[in-house]
Amino acid sequence: MICPCEKKGDTSVVDSRPTEDGTAIRRRRLCICGERFTTFERIQFRELMVVKKNGRKSSFDRDKLSKSIYIALKKRPIDTATIEKFISNISRSLEELGQGEISTNTIGTMVMDGLKDLDPVGYVRFASVYRNFREEKDFVQFVDKLDVYKKR
């Protein structure tokens, strides 16, 4: 494995353990430069292709999904383990669909459905980008539809 600092492959595994949900192996690594970093080994059942709104196709990128979810949940009271489990569940659900090609709409809907239960603020943040809110009224209309805020 290549060290992120030195860009050389002289690293060794210090610790290996399964993740909480058992879908990956977490490895702590040590480079000869002294830098420590973590890698994950995951099962990939099939190559998933994402079909974008404009018709272009690209390989499913778990890191891209992860980044968008972490941005939506930034500074929210949700621990990293819960977020990682959520991301793994989304990835596994996509693979279990049994389709080689998945639309961005399907992925976005799955994420929004999950975030709605996980964190209402994260849900609204993700929706604002996913649904491309342009004006304040877009937020107001969206939040007005949420049951979470009507109960308060």
pLDDT digits (tens, 9 = 90+) for 46-90: 689 999 989 999 999 999 999 999 999 999 999 988 998 899 899
Is 50 found in the same domain as 125? yes
For residue 78, give both structure tokens. 């949700």
Percent of the chain with pLDDT over 70: 93
- What total number of domains does the chain contain? 2
Is 51 found in the same domain as 22? no
Which of 68-82, 88-102, 103-117 has the lowest average pLDDT? 88-102
Mean pLDDT of 104-123: 93
Average pLDDT, the chain: 87
**Which domain range does residue 37 map to?**
9-43
Say whether pLDDT at 152 is over 50.
no
CA dist., res. 108 & res. 146, Å (int) = 17
In the chain, the N- to C-terminal Cα span, in Å, equals 51
51 contacts 104 by C-beta, under 8 angstroms: yes
